[in-house]
Amino acid sequence: MSGADDRDLVARVEGLLTELDALADSGARDKATEVVAALLDLYGEGLARVVEQVAERDDGSLAEALAADELVSHLLLVHGLHPVPVAVRVRSALDEVRPYLESHGGDVELLSVADGIARLRLEGSCSGCPSSTMTLKLAIENAIAKSAPDIEAVEAEGAVAEPPAPALIQLEVVDSAGSAGANGERVTEPDGDGWAMAGGMPELAAGPGEAPLLKRVQGEPVLFLELAGTIYAYRPECPACGGSLERATLERSDLTCADCGNRYDVLRAGRCLDAPQLHLEPVPLLVGDDGLVKVALGAATA
């Protein structure tokens, strides 16, 4: 059974429970609810015994494999039986996003986990940045929710609240290939967690560190660059002259605008080396195990 099948099964169960709550016959509703609760208790006791037997005989590898299975992991969480402590799972989630944060000059430290709350400290360019809250929500909170759904809240020192967005954005799950726009252009759309699929970057892989790649994602231009095997994404407008950085040159980590000559440090959140008050607008980016790139549009990141 694939991950998609798992999600379909969970969605079906949730749908059936919703229908159960809506039954007009209160007697039937209460009896059905009692049956569901009894089944949960039964399977919970069975899982507890399985986990107990595993703990007595396992060297840790089986527990790790069970924890890595999303469906099994969630079932164990429902019954309070997850073999990996919540703090360890939160640290693992932070390790997943740390390369992305470091690529923009930031970092995150876990301070504590208690009473369902993970307390963090944003560091580097993430600390005090006006866009740090968006970084927290789009990257860090999503990673923690996936690895440790039993965490109820995330609090972060150094996060600065952003003004509310002018409008809500409808997010839809679509095929990674995207759909064709009105002019025949391939348009990608956001997936269910708010990230838009930008696809593979073979042009960058063919010549890392040479020329930037301007690519449209959801109809918006995004500038992609690669340094030492790491991909970075920025809005393509030069903050000094307003021109496009598509024709910019990249030498080491310095991106030089072809129109005005201002240089921007790709490794340090696009800070201008010639006018410190200027900086490029980073775009949150994640690279999957399959090499496909996702970006979060609509907000900059720390």
- Which tens digit of pLDDT belongs to each residue from 259-271? 999 999 887 778 8
269 contacts 276 by C-beta, under 8 angstroms: no
Give Cβ neighbours of residue 168 (< 8 Å, ≥ 6 apart): none
Alpha carbon dihedral 109, 111, 113, 117, in 10-degree steps, equals -80
**pTM of the predicted structure, to 2 decimals:** 0.47
Residue 117 has φ and ψ, to the nearest 5°, of -120, 130
Task: Residue 227: name the closest of 204, 202, 247, 244 by CA.
Answer: 204
Written as one letter, the residue type at 113 is V
Q: Measure the CA–CA gap between 150 and 167, rounded to whole angstroms.
A: 30
pLDDT value of position 138: 63
Question: pLDDT (tens digit, 9 = 90+) per residue, 41-70?
Answer: 888 888 888 888 887 887 878 777 877 777
- CATH 3.30.300.130 in the chain, residue ranges: 86-157
267 contacts 105 by C-beta, under 8 angstroms: yes
Which of 50-64, 125-139, 166-180: highest mean pLDDT? 50-64
Q: Measure the CA–CA gap between 244 and 193, rounded to whole angstroms.
A: 29
pLDDT value of position 136: 61
Instruction: State mean pLDDT over 137-145.
Output: 77
Q: 12-16, 54-58, 110-114, 183-187: which has the minimum mean pLDDT?
A: 183-187
What is the 3-class SS of 142-195, one letter each residue? HHHHHHCCCCCEEEEECCCCCCCCCCCCCCCCCCCCCEECCCCCEECCECCCCC
Helix axes 70-78, 61-68, angle to 10 degrees: 100
pLDDT value of position 238: 95
Question: pLDDT (tens digit, 9 = 90+) per residue, 183-230?
Answer: 333 344 445 456 788 888 877 754 444 678 899 988 889 999 888 778
Q: Is 229 left (phi over 0), alpha (psi -120 to 50) or beta?
A: left
Instruction: Give the pLDDT band (50/70/90) at residue 290.
Output: confident
Instruction: Kindly tell me if the per-residue pLDDT of 75 is higher than 90.
Output: no
Q: Which residues, in sequence order, are bridge partners of residue 221?
A: 216
Q: 9 in helix, strand or coil? A: helix
Q: How much of the chain exceeds pLDDT 70, in percent? A: 77
Instruction: Kindly tell me if the per-residue pLDDT of 167 is higher than 50.
Output: no
Instruction: Kindly tell me if the per-residue pLDDT of 293 is higher than 90.
Output: no
Instruction: Give the pLDDT band (50/70/90) at residue 176.
Output: very low
pLDDT value of position 268: 74
The total number of residues written for the chain in this structure: 302
Instruction: Give the pLDDT band (50/70/90) at residue 112.
Output: very high
- CATH 2.102.10.10 in the chain, residue ranges: 179-295
Q: Measure the CA–CA gap between 63 and 83, rounded to whole angstroms.
A: 6
The answer as to CATH 3.30.300.130 being correct for domain 86-157 is yes
For residue 242, the 8-state DSSP code is -
Instruction: Kindly tell me if the per-residue pLDDT of 120 is higher than 80.
Output: yes
Instruction: Give the pLDDT band (50/70/90) at residue 182.
Output: very low
Class of domain 179-295: mainly beta
